[in-house]
Chains A and B, each alone.
Chain A
Amino acid sequence: MSIAAAEAKELETEQASGLYRDALSRLLRNKAAMVGVVVLVLFVLAALFAPLLTQHDPNVRVGPLASNPEGPTAQHWFGLDEQGRDFYARVIYGTRLSLLVGVVSVAVGLSLGLVLGALAGYFRGWVDSTIMRAMDLMLAVPAFLLAIALVTVLGRGLFQIMIAVGIVNVPIFARLLRGSILGNRETDYVLAARSLGTPGHRILFTHLLPNSIAPVIVQATLAMATAIIEVAGLSFVGLGPADPRFPEWGRMLADNANRLDQSVHLVFFPGFAIVLSVLALNLIGDGLREAIDPKLKD
């Protein structure tokens, strides 16, 4: 046997099974992240199959109007709210709004942000400066305040709220992608591609973008978590979706913050619904971050 072959045999300890497979296996082994996935799946199922999970309609009164409605009973698992509606149904149906807003607003922020970031990172020069100045400006205003301002101007329709929350995310994604592109531009493989005459847009799409996907996915997950909290916050200050047909957890908290002595269930359930859904997303996002680069300690 030649020496080289003997070498190859001896060094056969770790085969690189591909970047994505490595990351995936690391993620699957992360118990906390897996818990998050399970919880998130449960929420998604609750949103999709809400009518199957409860026979009550969240907007129909089945009990009396009361200033201090009663708590959980065998018939009404989460009790009734102050308008006599089944609270369990309202909380379950509330999942739909939260998840919908989470997904759509992040999609909005992501697409806009990625486009801006890609333009800035690829073209550099004045394009970069202008875009980044605008991003800095947006970041100078605290996110929630920006959301408040946007909703005030755009209105309280569901679509407008999703846009508002989405826009708040744009600078984060723009910065992320720009940073990633800047970091990868000077790598040897990109220089090699350029020296071979590969056209710019080709380089962008086949080399630069795919390598930036991973942190974007992480950020998208975390952005979804903040979106849910932000919408709840908007509802809390009275700027949530104006349509009363959509139960929203944040508004439930706002409406019932003063009924704590008798009807704490009215804040307890929606509040923890928020916490659990956001926690699930945070666990997943964290797990993704760790799976992609385990050397990173944060």
Chain B
Amino acid sequence: MPLLSVDDLHVRFRSRKRTIYAVNGVSFDLEPGETLGIVGESGSGKSVSSLAIMGILPRGAQVTGSVTLDGRELMTLRDAQMRAIRGKEVAMVFQDPMTSLNPVLTVGRQLTEVLRKHLDMDRNQARDEAVRLLDRVGIPRARERLGDFPHQFSGGMRQRVMIAMAIACKPRVLIADEPTTALDVTIQAQILELLRELVATERMALILITHDLGVVAGICERTHVMYAGAFVETAATTELFARPRHPYTVGLLQSVPRLDAEAKRRLQPITGAPRNMTSLPDGCAFAPRCRYATDESWNNVPELREIDPGHRVACWNPVPDAELAALDAGEGGGD
């Protein structure tokens, strides 16, 4: 049985003027200790999905679907019950460590509060454990730093503190939502390395959410590509990079400049802009930006179908191998 199972998750935000269809039918499983990547651009619904799993969506959100942890349905739990799970079984690391830490509380306090709440430790036990955690995530002079405030740490250090807070109660699932986006590139690598290491030693499952393909390449076993609130392609990461099928995935990979490409080769950006989410699409959500769109794409919503073992695509006209090779070699028209 999978550790975490999400089935047909829909999230809508209703206001007086309009509705935003943020997540439209997302399903996936997560095995214990597995690392999963969710890739998509801003507004694709990836963060909203994770907030829905944690149950901390803002007011006005309507969620349907099922999320089970170890077979236990989370959607029907009352908030008081959910609180026992948040931070303990499932934990989250957010994007911007600058704003995600309480500026008026010491780092030690923010760590011990979660330890004392979930693990019932007394003050001294919690402090000792907090020191151990800070040390674990690579913060030097941990014991002295307990009394420091977030603004006294650098960006990378702050993110380490966030990670320490998240793994404090040894959660079985860690959701990292764009954990490196707000950091410098060199720090990014360090944080990813830390995550990778923690996953290995603490035996945590990890869901890594990002818009940056480079990030999932090094660390995720499987990757889902998300567009306009739904998955459009899922595969083992190596497979996804080697043989992407969905035009969007192809576009994403093509957009990244490559060191080994010829100097003159043009970048192939994806034309158009992300879809407006105030209505549900009649056909494939990507059709307006897709080079390979057919009549079917415009009229019917494609569903995820397996085209290779373990590799599923939601597309009426997935990119064939030959085309991939051509694109790789730098040919193929751009608009």
Contacts and interface: CB of A to CB of B under 8 A. Distances in A.
Contacts of B278: 13
Given A3-B288, A3-B289, A10 B271 contact: no
A4 B276 contact: no
A4 B335 CA distance: 10
Interface string A1-37: 0011011001101000000000000000000000000
Contacts of B335: 3
Contacts of B309: none
B272 A3 contact: yes
- Taking each of A3, A4, A13, which has the highest tally of chain B beta carbons within 10 Å of its own beta carbon? A3
A269 B216 CA distance: 73
A4 B275 CA distance: 13
Contact of B276 (A3, A6, A11): A11
B242 interface: no
A239 to B, nearest CB: 46
A10 B280 CA distance: 12
Nearest to B288: A6
Contacts of A3: 271-272, 288-289, 335
A4 B272 CA distance: 6
B273 A11 contact: yes
Closest 5 CB pairs of A and B: A7-B272, A6-B288, A3-B271, A3-B272, A11-B276
A213 B335 CA distance: 45
**A interface, how many residues as a size bin?**
under 10
A1 to B, nearest CB: 10
A14 to B, nearest CB: 10
Nearest to A7: B272
Contacts of A10: 275-276, 288
A111 B271 CA distance: 51
Nearest to B17: A14
Interface of B: 271-273, 275-276, 278, 288-289, 335
A88 to B, nearest CB: 44
21 contacts: A3-B271, A3-B272, A3-B288, A3-B289, A3-B335, A4-B271, A4-B272, A6-B272, A6-B288, A7-B271, A7-B272, A7-B273, A7-B288, A7-B289, A10-B275, A10-B276, A10-B288, A11-B273, A11-B276, A13-B276, A13-B278
Contacts of A13: 276, 278
Contacts of B272: 3-4, 6-7
A248 B273 CA distance: 63
Contacts of A4: 271-272
Contacts of B289: 3, 7
Nearest to B293: A3
Contacts of A11: 273, 276
A140 to B, nearest CB: 29
Nearest to B18: A13
A10 B277 CA distance: 10
A4 to B, nearest CB: 7
Nearest to A1: B288
Contacts of B273: 7, 11
Given A7-B273, A10-B275, 15 more contacts: A3-B271, A3-B272, A3-B288, A4-B271, A6-B272, A6-B288, A7-B271, A7-B272, A7-B288, A7-B289, A10-B276, A10-B288, A11-B276, A13-B276, A13-B278
B16 to A, nearest CB: 11
A79 to B, nearest CB: 48
Contacts of B276: 10-11, 13
A270 to B, nearest CB: 42
A17 to B, nearest CB: 15
B301 to A, nearest CB: 16
Nearest to A2: B335
Interface in A180-225: none
Nearest to A12: B276
Contacts of A7: 271-273, 288-289
Contacts of B288: 3, 6-7, 10
Contacts of B275: 10
A6 B271 CA distance: 11
A177 to B, nearest CB: 31
A6 B283 CA distance: 14
A10 B288 CA distance: 9
Nearest to B335: A3
A10 B271 CA distance: 14
